[in-house]
Structure 1
């Protein structure tokens, strides 16, 4: 089994949403390929491994798929390919649910798809598919919740078949008390600034929107996690910033000198 290498330290807390309800922690539809932060590892003799594209028509859009034949040499091969999700923090959620769509092509007895949940210490098998039972799957992963988590999809095959994954999502229920305690962890500094700000306290994929004082969006940017925000191109003034990531949202005023 592969070993994860943590290239960033996950923070102790999370930003939350007001009230109770399901929050999307991490999601991916592969429409733009396999994203940054995800990984693929190929242990078999097939050259291709996991690939984004339209090999399957799960919902009419691209998906991620692995083949048990070699499109490079056009020859039979043995597939053992792992698709690895980005890391996420599930420690502050009272429930955690994994959802995805999957499909086998030309299923044969040699095919199997294994889903593993990494909890920071162990890789736990949460599902194994050996029949052509394609469709939408929902799995309760609450028992594995931790501050460092990821999901692996491993495909085995040797009979010119394939396995596809799409519409991946992990969601959870975050209590109001946790939300209130974590709000102050997100910060934008220095503030005021000449336009070079730093966002800290976020975990995982982060979307940032900046609004002028009449409500127009002047910046829409994605960050992998914490990171710099360059607003030097904007006119001096007061702006509103909205920071969204898997566990919640933060809004505040910033001043560009």
Structure 2
């Protein structure tokens, strides 16, 4: 303030509640992103929305394969914040200036990984290179499957699906770790289980979830619908 004044506080401050911020859980085969001060924003235009499915996770990669930007796609779209290399650290933790940006997609419902080829909006930074404090918009995306992440091709059966919240799981050989994520990539349930078993999502909102079943033979991914 440059002149005398007063501050008015809201009444009943003791009743103000704090809501814990949403934490993104990395369920991809990629490294965790190290967030740095220098960034490049990449938006996905409305016309690209039909390319993706809710729950898809989009990553941006340096030319050495480091994931330096990651976001879960929702029905409202997605925007990537790419991290530049922090000169104050000894390791490379992001893009360097003028480095080519590569994109990939991980689909939790199937465990598939896709390579993304993109076109940029010519009215913004459309070089395809990382620039500090810059912004780009992607107007077109082409996907090509490149791998399946350790999928366990057993006889796992999850039913009923859709369900009001109770899902039965059969066909898991031995012990398994069960992890369930919502459409935003947030972990909502974790448990150890031996087949046959059951998971209970009756306390969760209706919508789409993804289950990851991890055994010594690999991983099984499947989409669950709570109706």
TM range (shorter): 0.3 to 0.5
| Higher relative contact order, structure no. (Cα contacts within 8 Å, ≥ 6 residues apart) | 1
Q: TM-score, normalised by structure 2?
A: 0.32
Q: TM-score, normalised by structure 1?
A: 0.29
